[in-house]
Amino acid sequence: MAENLKPSSGYAPVIGLEIHVQLKTKSKMFCDSPNNPDETAPNKNICEICTGQPGTLPVANREAVRLAVIVGQALNCRIEEYSKFDRKNYFYPDLPKGYQISQYDRPIAQNGYLDIEVPGENGGSASKRIRIRRAHLEEDAGKNIHPEGADYSLVDFNRAGTPLLEIVTEPDIASAKEAKIFLQELRNIIRYIGAGSADMEKGTMRLEPNISVRKPGQLELPAYKVEVKNINSFRFAESAIEYEIARQAEILKEGGMPKQVTMGWNEKAGQTMEQREKEEANDYRYFPEPDLPILHFSKEYLEEALASIPELPAQKRARFKREYGLPDADIRNLTEWKELTEFFEEAISELDELAGKALPLKFAKMAANWCLQDFSALLNAAKINPLESKVTPHNFAELIKLIEQSKISATAGKQVLAKMFELGGEPSRIMEDLGLAQVSDAAVIEQAINKVVSENAKAVADYKAGLQKSFGFLVGMAMKELKGKGNPQVVNDLLKKKLE
Ligand SMILES: [Zn+2]
């Protein structure tokens, strides 16, 4: 708790996060109804179990348990040998059983941490450790729908019983910016593992920050905390946290004490609004779920799970720096998008083969630039991921090689990439079909230069008299003669030689 024992110099926010991640499994947490977050027809993926019919019994989803264990391990948590499910009792129309199956005192994972890169002094970055208190499995509730103007409400149970992993941090986060960095890193870890889509906009990752503020000089944690709900984007998360910090600091400055409440973020109003007084754990009357066995994790099971964790974003960033020497910003942007990272690495291995020897670093830099700029722009415009596009890593690598060898100009390369994106196909063929091949043939270029020199006697004389800009004019004329496809370096060299 050392972090919290430093006295604050101003009004200092203390932020803990509760994150719900919908796990990517074929079926729901305790029944075999499909777990499909994209289903739009209401009450399609339901059965007797997830609608809470009397006499039905739950069966825990093996894959959901495995994913929870792996995410827990990736977050450096301790996984105890035994874990169990509990009933959390509350009444709400979207919860037909009258209780939610969750985990209370024996969560799957506890006492972990995630190190994040936060802005440090002098524009650099610093590593900060955010402790993870616990991660536990539970089932989601259905969705209440309130049709506009109607005097009734509807319930859609498609989401009822889908598996959620709830991840709870210690209050180690000190700003909205840090919260955002933590969430992005967590999202990337979930995606790299393949445990879920962790998409805040689609609701497969949901955030409930709890926020309180310490007064200047205050050592201990505040005696209250305010939970904020209804946050469904990274932008809302930042805005809601910043709004709450300012609101609470204002109350403290006036000598008051903020109430312990649950607030909802209202994006239209740009502010949080009080929803209800916060429940205490004993309001939920937790007790062990009698219909499910205790979970027992053998040593072998945990070792196997640990071994199945793929390279995580932080490790990948370090390797990209070591192997490709890319700038930090490029590395961060590449690794933010898992599929783009995979595409980039496949293209690099293709380039390795094309180069026929150890890959020069400049190829990696070029491939990264083309991935992050032109290729990303095309992908974003079409709203698809790199692995769904018609551009194969092999063809992409070939294009990079054509540009690097000056067989095609960068400008023409953009046209070729756009064509590859639209129709697929090999860049060399597209380059020829579009007549974009760059002319490097000395004989062809010399012929153009001879013509330009004989037709522009005055510019030639001016250049020989020391007027440098005439040279640029002559290069321009030669390029025009070559229909813009002359290799600029070769044109320059041959023209200089001719004028000597
Ligand atoms: Zn079901």
Per-residue pLDDT of 376-387, as tens digits, reads 999 999 999 998
Q: What local confidence, expressed as pLDDT, does residue 361 receive? A: 78
Check whether 439 has a pLDDT greater than 90. no
Distance from the alpha carbon of residue 58 to the mean position of ligand 1, in angstroms = 9
Q: What average pLDDT does the chain have?
A: 90
pLDDT band at residue 355 using 50, 70 and 90 as cut-offs: low
SS3 363: helix
Strand 12-22 relative to strand 163-169: parallel, antiparallel, unpaired?
antiparallel
CA separation for the pair 108, 82 (Å, rounded): 8
Check whether 3 has a pLDDT greater than 50. no
Distance from the alpha carbon of residue 93 to the mean position of ligand 1, in angstroms = 17
Distance from the alpha carbon of residue 32 to the mean position of ligand 1, in angstroms = 6
Distance from the alpha carbon of residue 142 to the mean position of ligand 1, in angstroms = 12
Distance from the alpha carbon of residue 83 to the mean position of ligand 1, in angstroms = 23
Domain 442-499 sits in CATH 1.10.10.410:
yes
At which residue do the structure tokens 């339901």 appear? Answer: 46
Distance from the alpha carbon of residue 73 to the mean position of ligand 1, in angstroms = 29
**Of the ranges 33-42, 68-77, 128-137, 265-274, which one carries the lowest mean pLDDT score?**
265-274
Check whether 2 has a pLDDT greater than 60. no
Distance from the alpha carbon of residue 158 to the mean position of ligand 1, in angstroms = 9
Distance from the alpha carbon of residue 463 to the mean position of ligand 1, in angstroms = 83
Distance from the alpha carbon of residue 380 to the mean position of ligand 1, in angstroms = 36
- The separation between CA 173 and the C-alpha centre of its own chain, rounded to angstroms, equals 19
Q: What local confidence, expressed as pLDDT, does residue 376 receive? A: 94
Check whether 10 has a pLDDT greater than 90. no
Distance from the alpha carbon of residue 188 to the mean position of ligand 1, in angstroms = 29
Region class of 305: left (phi > 0), else alpha (psi between -120 and 50), else beta: alpha
**435 or 30, higher pLDDT:** 30
Distance from the alpha carbon of residue 156 to the mean position of ligand 1, in angstroms = 13
Check whether 248 has a pLDDT greater than 80. yes
Check whether 353 has a pLDDT greater than 80. no
Distance from the alpha carbon of residue 136 to the mean position of ligand 1, in angstroms = 21
Q: Counting beta carbons within 10 angstroms of the beta carbon of residue 357, is it exposed (0 to 12), middle (13 to 18) or buried (19 or more)?
A: exposed
Distance from the alpha carbon of residue 366 to the mean position of ligand 1, in angstroms = 50
Distance from the alpha carbon of residue 395 to the mean position of ligand 1, in angstroms = 45
- The arithmetic mean of pLDDT across residues 403-416, rounded, is 86
Tens digit of pLDDT for each residue in 452-495?
998 998 989 998 888 888 888 998 888 888 777 788 888 888 88
Distance from the alpha carbon of residue 34 to the mean position of ligand 1, in angstroms = 8
| Nearest alpha carbon to residue 94 among 46, 25, 37 | 46
Check whether 5 has a pLDDT greater than 60. no
Distance from the alpha carbon of residue 57 to the mean position of ligand 1, in angstroms = 11
Distance from the alpha carbon of residue 47 to the mean position of ligand 1, in angstroms = 4
Distance from the alpha carbon of residue 44 to the mean position of ligand 1, in angstroms = 10
DSSP 223: S
Q: What local confidence, expressed as pLDDT, does residue 1 receive? A: 39
Check whether 359 has a pLDDT greater than 80. no
Reported pTM? 0.84
Distance from the alpha carbon of residue 64 to the mean position of ligand 1, in angstroms = 15
Distance from the alpha carbon of residue 160 to the mean position of ligand 1, in angstroms = 8
Check whether 360 has a pLDDT greater than 50. yes
Q: What local confidence, expressed as pLDDT, does residue 277 receive? A: 66
Q: What local confidence, expressed as pLDDT, does residue 434 receive? A: 79
DSSP track, 3-62: HHHSPPSS-EEEEEEEEEEE---SB-SSSSSB--TT--STT-S--TTTTT-TT------H
- The arithmetic mean of pLDDT across residues 282-292, rounded, is 92
Q: What local confidence, expressed as pLDDT, does residue 181 receive? A: 94
Which two three-digit tokens encode residue 245? 């910090």
**Of the ranges 166-170, 279-283, 291-295, which one carries the lowest mean pLDDT score?**
279-283
Where are the extended beta strands (E) located within 231-327?
261-266, 271-277, 287-288, 295-296
Do residues 486 and 495 touch, judged by C-beta distance below 8 A? Answer: no
Percent of the chain with pLDDT over 70: 95
Distance from the alpha carbon of residue 37 to the mean position of ligand 1, in angstroms = 14
DSSP 281: G
Distance from the alpha carbon of residue 195 to the mean position of ligand 1, in angstroms = 20
Cα 122-124-126 angle, rounded to 5 deg:
115
Q: What local confidence, expressed as pLDDT, does residue 124 receive? A: 79
Distance from the alpha carbon of residue 39 to the mean position of ligand 1, in angstroms = 14
Distance from the alpha carbon of residue 51 to the mean position of ligand 1, in angstroms = 7
Distance from the alpha carbon of residue 361 to the mean position of ligand 1, in angstroms = 53
Distance from the alpha carbon of residue 28 to the mean position of ligand 1, in angstroms = 7
Check whether 28 has a pLDDT greater than 90. yes
Tens digit of pLDDT for each residue in 76-124?
999 999 999 999 999 889 999 999 999 999 999 999 999 999 988 777 7
Tens digit of pLDDT for each residue in 326-346?
998 999 999 999 999 999 999
Q: Domain coordinates of the chain in residue numbers? A: 2-305, 317-433, 442-499
Tens digit of pLDDT for each residue in 161-206?
999 999 999 999 999 999 999 999 999 999 999 999 999 989 899 9
